[in-house]
Chains A and B, each alone.
Chain A
Amino acid sequence: MHEVGLMQNALEIAFRAAGEKGANRVTALGLSIGSLSGVVPDAMRFSFDAMTPGTIAEGAELRIEEIPATCWCGQCSSLFETDDILTLCPCCGTPSADVRDGRDMRITFVEVSDDGG
């Protein structure tokens, strides 16, 4: 379960961003997770819930946007989007070897507040 380590990275980025803004709370965190990234969103949520208590992100909301894979089909000469992890072309059923998007996992936003000094 490497999601714990990835969540650690996400929280470090969030805490740094909050610190740079002089904010003392993180109220929400946005992630985008590609369907071929090898990351299970539920495991990310579990890690978030386990790791945030006692930090400035305690009680924050985790919003995960799941990004479908974008692949190139050589048979149809076209791009297609799919949630199918085997990346089969929806037109001709050929498995794609050319994955253009859907492998990334990124932090997209951090919502902070500066209440309570």
Chain B
Amino acid sequence: MAGDPGSRRTVLSVDESLLGHNEEYAARNRSVFREHSLFVANVLSSPGSGKTTLIQRTLTDLAPSRKGGVIVGDLATDNDARRLADSGAPVTQILTGTMCHLEASMVGDALGGIDLSALDYLIIENVGNLVCPASYDLGEDVRIGLLSVTEGEDKPLKYPVIFKTVQAVVITKIDMASAAGFDRSAALHNIAIAAPDAEVFEVSARTAVGLDTWYAWLESRMKQEKT
């Protein structure tokens, strides 16, 4: 018994990250991305914020000049993957089953099926979840957080851990702002608290409002990656 007075106990000092395994895979992914001068974005949001719609539109609109690919994580269906494939871009689906986030090893496995040398950028659409994906580096260059106008302006304050890790926040469905009673200044204020250095974009993938500045930013990040 562990509690026996006669037992000899030894304290072994260990200093290992609980994410050590993921960190190794993320580093491996990162070096593969470097090799191909690929710009990689990890897109995070709650379910229903419009990740798939924004990515689909981005792939289509940038297609004449920039070739993009997608890795999409979904719990149970390939609906998102099929929608994304409509853009003509290569799409790889990861079915996570009951897992609430993507891990670097899953992305690493998916990379084997993609011709990375044909791409300028790769978008990883994470599982819709603002909690668990925060902890898992996938080897990406940037993290992009989405927030739709229907979700409430305080989302960045409710999920600060994940918003603290993003380099850009895209406010989506901006065409529905007035119908949703969206308080724009409160949202911008809350984003500034949770993600003070993040670039902020306000877009509608349906009406194309705000997409120009979003594309210009992606373009500048892609150029940065090529140099």
A residues contacting B by CB (< 8 A) are: 1-2, 5-6, 9-10, 13-14, 17-18, 21, 23, 25, 27-28, 31, 36-39, 58-60, 85-88, 94-97, 99, 104-116
Contact = CB atoms under 8 A, between A and B. Distances in A.
B3 A59 contact: yes
Interface range on chain B (Cβ under 8 Å from partner): 35 or more
Given A2-B132, A86-B193, A97-B197, A36 B16 contact: no
Given A2-B135, A115-B1, 13 more contacts: A1-B132, A5-B99, A9-B19, A18-B12, A21-B10, A38-B161, A59-B1, A86-B157, A86-B160, A106-B16, A111-B9, A111-B11, A116-B4
A21 B2 CA distance: 16
Interface of B: 1-4, 6-21, 99-101, 131-132, 134-136, 157, 160-162, 164, 192-197
A87 B196 CA distance: 11
A42 to B, nearest CB: 14
Contact of A95 (B11, B16, B194): B194
Contacts of A88: 193
A108 B157 contact: no
A107 to B, nearest CB: 5
Contacts of A14: 14
B160 to A, nearest CB: 5
Contacts of B20: 9
A109 B101 contact: no
B9 A109 contact: no
B222 to A, nearest CB: 23
A5 B18 CA distance: 9
A54 to B, nearest CB: 14
Contact of B9 (A59, A87, A104, A112): A112
A37 B164 CA distance: 11
Nearest to B192: A95
19 contacts: A13-B14, A21-B12, A38-B135, A38-B161, A86-B157, A94-B196, A96-B196, A97-B197, A106-B15, A106-B17, A106-B18, A107-B15, A109-B11, A111-B9, A112-B9, A113-B7, A114-B7, A115-B4, A115-B7
